Amino acid sequence: MIFGFDPLLLLVLALVLAAEFVNGWTDAPNAIATVVSTRVMAPRTAIAMATLLNVIGTLTGTAVAATIGKDIVDADVIDLVTIGSAMVGIVTWSTIAWKFGLPTSESHALVSGLAGAGLATAGPHALLWAGWQKVLLGLVFSTFFGFFGGAIIVTLIYRWFARRPIGTVRRLFGNLQIYSAAFMAFGHGTNDGQKFIGAFSLALLLGGVIQEFRVDWWVMVLCSMVMGIGTSVGGWRIIKTMGMRMVKLEPFQGFAAETGAAMAIQTASVLGIPLSTTHTINTSIMGVGAAHRISAVRWGVVREVVLAWILTFPICGFIAWSIATLARIFFPR
């Protein structure tokens, strides 16, 4: 024991914080990719704004944290090794994808990591259908609400501002895009930021620090600050892929993509549905580009991004399963 804590618990909590840092490092840049690519905001200014609003968003509720902590895996049949193995899978895969500039989904990585490690620990009984229903619903929100939200908003802008001078439109939406990017950054905190708060609290429960699942204020502050530090490190590779390579965006298109994605994310957060903010903003950008013309979307880049999404589930699940299995062979408890 170290200061009354099991060393394994301390290691697992450190791994959760490492995953939260990676979340801010690789996922949070999604919130500001379009506002940087349209040159409405300088990268450093945008990252500072995203850092602040991610932290604020994370502190606004616990519905998503509760879903991750209580409804994805059964706390009665898993242990700290399960949580730690899931975090190793997340950090490993997300770092590899970042190296290639691919925006990964920490949401998908987290649930697949917990699933893989849970299966290694207790088999299929470790998985809870109630939480996985919300995960599947999150896929609907991020895919369809993201795509059509962005497409509908940009179509309305085309109709309402068709006769306005392009310079006037750019100035107007250049200003408005600052607010839509802020909305998106706040939304990332309310959903993605809370997921690792749930994992941290679950680790405290399994380590015996708390007797029933709850989210304490100090956990929210600690995790939000770690994610904020990760965001402040930046994610230029991710910003370049999403905001510049996928679709060439005007400020009004960036506004539409961010607003459509943020509305979907906020709705899901209120309902306690964990969704991928990466997936949501990506599909919203695709919807905005496709509303102009299908060829405006660089589908080759889209294929790379979609491939990263698809690979996240099996790769994170397999890494987590492997780590949990090996841990039980070499360090039986």
Q: Which two tokens stand for residue 161?
A: 């501002």
Residue 132 forms part of a structural domain: yes
Residues with Cβ within 8 Å of 120's Cβ and at least 6 positions away in sequence, in order, are 82, 85, 320, 321, 322, 324, 325, 328
Report the number of distinct structural domains present in the chain: 1
Q: Please work out, in degrees rounded to the nearest 5, the angle formed at the alpha carbon of residue 223 by the alpha carbons of 193 and 268.
A: 20
Residue 102 within any structural domain of the chain: yes
The yes-or-no verdict on residue 235 having pLDDT over 70 is no
Place of tokens 């519905």: 63
- pLDDT one-digit tens code per residue, 145-196: 999 999 999 999 999 998 888 888 888 998 999 999 899 889 888 888 889 9
Q: Could you tell me if residue 1 is inside a domain?
A: no
- Domain extent for 207: 8-330
Predicted confidence band of residue 248 (pLDDT cuts 50, 70, 90): low
Using alpha carbons, list the distances in angstroms from residue 209 to 111, 120, 200, 261. Answer: 23, 24, 11, 37
Residue linked to tokens 């994170």: 316
- Separation of alpha carbons 43 and 36, rounded Å: 6
Residue-level pLDDT at 286: 82
Whole-angstrom Cα distance, residue 259 to residue 117? 36
Question: What integer pLDDT is reported at residue 91 of this predicted model?
Answer: 92
Share of the chain above pLDDT 90, in %: 42
CB 21 within 8 A of CB 204: no
Q: How confident is the model at residue 46 (pLDDT cuts 50, 70, 90)?
A: confident
Residue type present at position 255: F
pLDDT at 318 over 60: yes
Average pLDDT score over the chain: 85
Closest CA to 257 of 245, 247, 267: 247
What's residue 300's pLDDT? Answer: 65
In a domain, 78, yes or no: yes
- 199 falls within a domain: yes
**91-105, 123-137, 298-312: the lowest-pLDDT one:** 298-312
Query: Is the four-CA dihedral 146, 88, 196, 122 of positive or negative sign?
Result: positive
Environment class of 244 (CB within 10 Å of its CB; exposed 0-12, middle 13-18, buried 19+): middle
CB neighbours of 27 closer than 8 A, spacing ≥ 6? 94, 103, 104, 105, 106, 188, 192, 277, 278
